[in-house]
Amino acid sequence: MNRGRLAALISCAVLLTGVLVLAVTRIFGFDDGTYLAVPIALLPYAALLTAGLLVTLLALRGRWLTVAAAALLVLQLAWIVPRFVPDRPLIPADAVHIRVGTVNTHRGQVDPLALVSMAKDEHLDVLAAEELDAPAIKALDAAGMAQYMPYRELHPENDTSIFSRVPIVSGGPTSLPTTWPQTQVTVTVSGHQIPVVGVHTYYPVGGPGLWARDMSALRAVAGRDVIVLGDFNATVDHSPLRSLLAAGLVDTHAELGRGWAPTWPAQFPLVQIDHVLHGPGLAAVSASEHLLPGTDHRAVVAELALPG
């Protein structure tokens, strides 16, 4: 074996070991409350790397490493491919619809005119705005939010505020054991009461234990007609988010077969950490992402329906 081929095989083996570590982490949930949550966010890119390694190893005729790469690629595809397969129920023509949106305002730095314009253009019924401080709320109202969404549950002292075009029946901070209180409301749409929870969890780089605790606490809000949306600081490969989905919530993008919709960072998005989740009593109609000046996250807009 010449030295060049040996060096190439060793390099491939090292990279495959890294991919294997990620796979084992995902399988056993080792990212839950640990800094392994950071590389797990990039798991789809590991699949691309594995595919490249597989081709390289075939050319190098590295038999056992080729088998290992093929096995890892099959495993990763088993996780990723279902996200591109729509799984939505039939929605009756007379079903009640609700349009919701979420945006991390980057400590209130989002362009207020752009955000209000998006809310109007997308005909939003409810908007959850994370990291929204008091001056930013005043700027939004001056830009027209007060007229378009006159109902609101404002909590700049905590983090997240919720604006609504439809009446709010009740609302306030949740009593969940999260790092800071999440904001919840119940809105009325065509006679139906729909609970909405605006979410912003702690971030795993700053404190994986706090992040995991926040995600775990959110399981308590799962319900048939609930909408849970915001900045989860988690992708669908993170075990805490998968546990949240297992508690009875559905990821809108995955339901629509839109398995690749990164939202952060805004200009060159790499990962999707902003989500619209909903209970089994709702069904996804559409989802989209929007770039707004001043914020480091892309806003997410979704339309949901009450099929029955």
pLDDT tens sequence for the chain (308 residues): 588 788 888 899 999 999 999 999 999 999 999 999 999 999 999 999 999 999 999 988 888 999 999 999 999 999 999 999 998 888 999 999 999 999 999 999 999 999 999 999 999 999 999 999 999 999 999 999 999 999 999 999 999 999 999 999 999 999 999 999 999 999 999 999 999 999 999 999 999 999 999 999 999 999 999 999 999 999 999 999 999 999 999 999 999 999 999 999 999 999 999 999 999 999 999 999 999 999 999 999 999 999 87
Q: pTM for the full model?
A: 0.95
Regarding whether 211 and 142 lie in a shared domain, the answer is yes
Boundary of a domain, candidates 84, 114, 141 = 84
Place of tokens 């945006």: 103
Q: Which of 242, 233, 225 is nearest to 308 (CA)?
A: 225
Q: Which two tokens stand for residue 112?
A: 């207020």
What pLDDT is attached to residue 3?
82
Indicate whether 31 belongs to any domain. Answer: yes
Based on the domain organization, do 177 and 48 belong to the same domain? no
Same domain membership, residue 182 and residue 124: yes
List of long-range contacts for 146-154, beta carbons under 8 Å, 24+ apart: 148/116, 148/119, 148/120, 149/119, 149/124, 151/187, 153/183, 153/184, 153/185
Core vs surface per residue 203-217: b (16+ CB within 10 A) or e: bbeeebebbbbbbbb
- Report which DSSP code applies to 218: G
Q: What is the pLDDT of residue 288?
A: 98
Assigned domain for 51 exists: yes
What pLDDT score was predicted for residue 35? 97
Residues 300 and 159 in one domain: yes
User: C-alpha dihedral over 52, 23, 71, 66, to 10 degrees?
Assistant: 50
Cβ atoms 162, 152 nearer than 8 A: yes
Residue 1: the pLDDT is 58
The answer to whether the Cα torsion of 100, 105, 108, 114 is positive or negative is negative
- Which of 84, 109, 137 terminates a domain? The answer is 84
d(CA 266, CA 223): 31
Q: Are residues 76 and 141 in the same domain?
A: no
Contact assessment for residue 216 and residue 243, using Cβ atoms and an 8 Å cutoff: yes
- Say yes or no: 29 and 107 in one domain: no
Are 113 and 222 part of one and the same domain? yes
Is 91 among the domain residues? no
128, 106: one domain? yes
Structural domain of residue 120, as residue ranges?
A: 96-306
Q: Are residues 127 and 274 in the same domain?
A: yes
Specify the number of domains making up the chain.
2
Residues 252 and 115 in one domain: yes
On the CB side of 132, CA atoms within 13 Å amount to: 31
Residue 90 inside a domain? The answer is no
| CATH at residue 237 | 3.60.10.10
Nearest to 227 by CA among 259, 262, 252: 252
Q: How far apart are CA 216 and CA 197, in angstroms?
A: 15
In this structure, what are the phi and psi dihedrals at residue 130, rounded to the nearest 5 degrees?
-90, 160
For residue 125, the Cα-to-chain-centroid distance in whole angstroms is 20
In a domain, 168, yes or no: yes
Radius of gyration, CA atoms only, the chain? 21
260 and 188 in one domain?
yes
Same domain flag for 250 and 141: yes
Is the sign of the CA dihedral 113, 116, 122, 123 positive or negative? negative
